[in-house]
């Protein structure tokens, strides 16, 4: 299992916007330079963040703004906005394990509840970390 880089890119975007929104107009090109990815990737993630109601984006040279107070945006909000978790399941099983094999026949019974506990714990931890906390932790590094 690996969460895609969209999550950390989204986090980088919000930290950058929160840090520099008063100093400069923040565009996808500015963000792409900071993150070192193609601006198209930035625009796609900005679109997902906008759809989630976390940011506003003005076309052209308008820039990006954060719509919610920083203490009301959690890492879980970012995760939900940019990661595609099918059927609310972080862990995906291989297709059709053998029903002729005792392990294949019972793998879901053996793992499903444990993997759900792991996912729930991760989501709880992400929910408890706000953009405000990240900015406070990084105050010495971001100035």
**pLDDT per residue over 62-82, tens digit each?**
789 999 999 999 999 999 999
CATH classification code of 5-142: 1.10.10.10
Mean pLDDT of the chain: 91
Give the residue among 70, 10, 71 at the shortest CA–CA distance from 43: 10
* The pLDDT value given to residue 101: 96
Task: Report d(CA 19, CA 26) in Å as an integer.
Answer: 11
């Amino acid at each position: 299992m690996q969460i895609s880089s969209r999550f950390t890119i989204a986090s980088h975007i919000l930290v950058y916007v929160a840090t520099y929104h008063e100093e400069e107009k923040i565009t996808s090109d500015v963000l792409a330079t900071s993150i070192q990815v193609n601006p198209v990737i930035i625009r796609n993630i900005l679109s997902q963040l906008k759809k989630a109601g976390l940011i506003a984006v003005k076309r052209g040279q308008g820039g990006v703004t954060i719509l919610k107070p920083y203490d009301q945006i959690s890492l879980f909000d970012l995760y939900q906005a940019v990661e595609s978790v099918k059927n609310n399941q972080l862990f995906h099983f291989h297709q059709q394990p053998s029903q002729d094999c005792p392990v294949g026949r019972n793998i879901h019974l053996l793992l499903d509840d444990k993997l759900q506990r792991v996912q729930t714990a991760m989501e709880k931890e992400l929910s408890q970390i706000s953009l405000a906390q990240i900015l406070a932790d990084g105050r010495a590094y971001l100035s």
